[in-house]
Amino acid sequence: MQPKITFDVFLKIFSKRFMLLKQFKRPPMIKTKIIHNPKAGDEEHSHLELIKLIESRGFYTEYSSIKDKDWENISHDVDCLVVAGGDGTVRKVVKKLLERKLSDKRFPLAVLPLGTANNLALTLGLPESSEEVVDSWTNFKKKRFDAGLIYRFKEARFFLEGMGYGVFPELISRMKKIEENMKDTPEKKLEAALATLNEIVSSFEPDSFEIEVDGMKHTGRYLLVEIMNIRSIGPNLILSPDADPYDGWFDLVLIPEDDREQLSAYLKSKIEGEEIESDFNRTRCRKIKILSAATRLHVDDELFKIEEPLEIEVEIQDGLIDFLT
């Protein structure tokens, strides 16, 4: 005859089994939306390979190419946006997010770097291989990334990396023409950009600037005027080693005409594969006003032509975008 099980004994057995089941219960699946630039870098990842890689790590995915008209349509149940591309692709996605209503859901961004320079990926401290990057998402930390807000310039409203005048906008202009016929690897493209920039520096005619930094005024002729939110711009030029996109401050880098040789020496060391720490004039600030007759301006990796003297104001916005680091 089987002994009777009292209610107390039954409750204890049930509780133990429930706790065991709870221990082995899988966490809810994280849903990501991949926004992919299929032309980024050396185009080594197809969309099917990306989906397979990310889903193999336990994530559920949706996919859109940045070339599709409806890529910005994001389902409300998406937990995270995966931006697979270069810095320019990240900027396009952020631009769309900033156009959304304040009441809309705030999506964190996971960057899967496939571009040429990938300055944002370096800033976020991401591993080099795509597999390692995706593996890192299981233990991610979400950090609020500062951005620059631009006033009195309707063509661009914000930047993530940096904006400025001088030799760097000239480099963007020349590289657009050079890269049209280049089928090289990202490494070769970076080498070409450094060599081209060094040529520009040797003969560039600087513009005059009036700059007001947190109430302090600077005037002069500069080869480069750069407001930096992160350490590096362009072909991984580390012009501001201490820049931190989480601290609520910009670094304003000013390279006057007299520092032409110093800038050239820095570029030559980069070309030769040696990374020396740059020592250019840097000022930490939160608000900047710039007046100049310069005819070119870059905002991140976008180039803009300016038809007449223009005064621009820039202010830092703390924690505007969430990135996974």
pLDDT digits (tens, 9 = 90+) for 59-95: 999 999 999 989 999 998 999 999 999 999 999 999 9
pLDDT at 26: 43
pLDDT at 133: 94
CA 266 and chain centroid, separation: 23
Cβ atoms within 10 Å of 154's Cβ, excluding its own:
7
pLDDT at 97: 93
Look up residue 278 and give its amino acid: S
Both structure tokens of 172: 């963007």
pLDDT digits (tens, 9 = 90+) for 302-311: 999 999 999 9
Both structure tokens of 20: 């065991």
Closest CA to 54 of 29, 71, 75, 72: 29
Closest CA to 208 of 196, 226, 195, 221: 221
Which domains occur in the chain, in start order?
31-140 (3.40.50.10330), 149-319 (2.60.200.40)
3-state SS class at 195: helix
More confident residue, 273 or 44: 273
pLDDT at 293: 94
Range from 12-21, 168-177, 195-204, 236-245 carrying the lowest mean pLDDT: 12-21
Cβ–Cβ < 8 Å for 90, 303: no
Instruction: Give Rg (Cα) of the chain.
Output: 24
List, in order, residues 6 or more apart from 286 with CB less than 8 Å away. 214, 248, 249, 250, 315, 316
Closest CA to 213 of 284, 293, 130: 284
Cβ–Cβ < 8 Å for 107, 82: no
pLDDT at 128: 87
